[in-house]
Amino acid sequence: MKIAIPSKGRIDFPAKKLCESMPQDTYVFVNPSEYALYLKNNPNNFNIVSVTEEKNLTYVMEFINIFFSNDNFVLIDDDVSGLSVRDGLTKGGYPKLRSLKSDEIKQAFDDIEKCMKDYGLSLLCLREVQSNWYSKSILELANVGYRVVFFDGKAIKDKNLQYDKNIHLNSDVEFYIQMAKAGLRIGTYFKYAFSSVSEKFDTSGGCSEVKNKAYTLNDCNKVFQKHNMDKNIKIKLHPKFNRHGIVCNWKKLSPLDYWSKICV
């Protein structure tokens, strides 16, 4: 499993710790202007890759997509700091999480890759630790998350899917819609969860959180209008973090019969 980490302005990005046991499989994608700096500050001996042009994150995502067009790969935000696995239940009956050690990460990635193969999935997301508890299932189809996403690069290439460079903020959502409409299976794996520094509101480097509702709505509308799916999108404000999330009726995006299934 190849690991892709897009990074900007974070030489000591938290995901270094997560991937330190797999340096040969870890690729850090950076802008040309920062390539030498990242290369110099690379004690883990990761593969540092300069994208061709200095452009936005959507461009970088498509660059990575082409780079791994024949491989299974996981796309990880550079502020992801750890991975946890479900390990029993709390007294209230909710899943309990145990943090994985560095030498357990590769085994977890192998397990996730096997899950993709077993269920014929071309996209499999993990959830952050704060929301992992809400599902008592291990795998939910037609359910997606962001920031730690596993892709079947060959399936994407065979369907000739590309990121829309005219859409910036929600380019990942737009890409997932393309995958669903093309008949590729997508889902979320709740056996594992990730943690990140952004949970503590650290926005140094990378992309700042968008908190303007009108702007967020406008960007989402562009995505769903393109696919004539305006009625299947909602913007939900997180009451604690004051952040806007996207709620999508994914089941309306594809005629496949597996959408209603939940695999435990």
Residue 170 has a pLDDT of 77
* 235 domain-assigned: yes
3-class secondary-structure state, position 232: helix
- The string of pLDDT tens digits covering residues 18-38 is 999 999 999 999 999 999 999
DSSP state of 60: H
Taking residues 9-14, report their average pLDDT: 93
**pLDDT tens-digit readout, 132-167:** 877 778 888 777 878 999 999 999 999 999 998 888
Q: At 61, phi and psi to the nearest 5? A: -60, -45
204 in a structural domain: no
- Tokens at 144, concatenated: 């997606």
Closest CA to 234 of 220, 223, 222: 220
Is 35 within a domain?
yes
Please tell me the distance from the alpha carbon of residue 204 to that of residue 217, in angstroms, as a whole number. Answer: 25
DSSP letter assigned to residue 79: T
Which residue do the tokens 């997509």 mark?
Answer: 65
47: β partners: 27
| Domain-located, residue 205 | no
Residue type, 59: Y
CB 206 within 8 A of CB 10: yes
Residue, of 79 and 137, whose pLDDT is higher: 79
Q: Structural domain tally of the chain? A: 1
CATH (domain of 242): 3.90.550.10
Angle subtended by helix axes 171-181 and 57-67, to nearest 10: 40
Q: Is residue 249 part of a domain?
A: yes
Domain membership flag for residue 137: yes
pLDDT(185) > 90: no
In a domain, 252, yes or no: yes
Q: Does residue 67 lie within any of the structural domains?
A: yes
Among 53-62, 99-108, 109-118, 212-221, the range scoring the smallest mean pLDDT is 212-221
* Residue (of 185, 188, 196, 137) closest to 15 by Cα position: 196
Residue 183 belongs to what domain range? 2-199+211-263
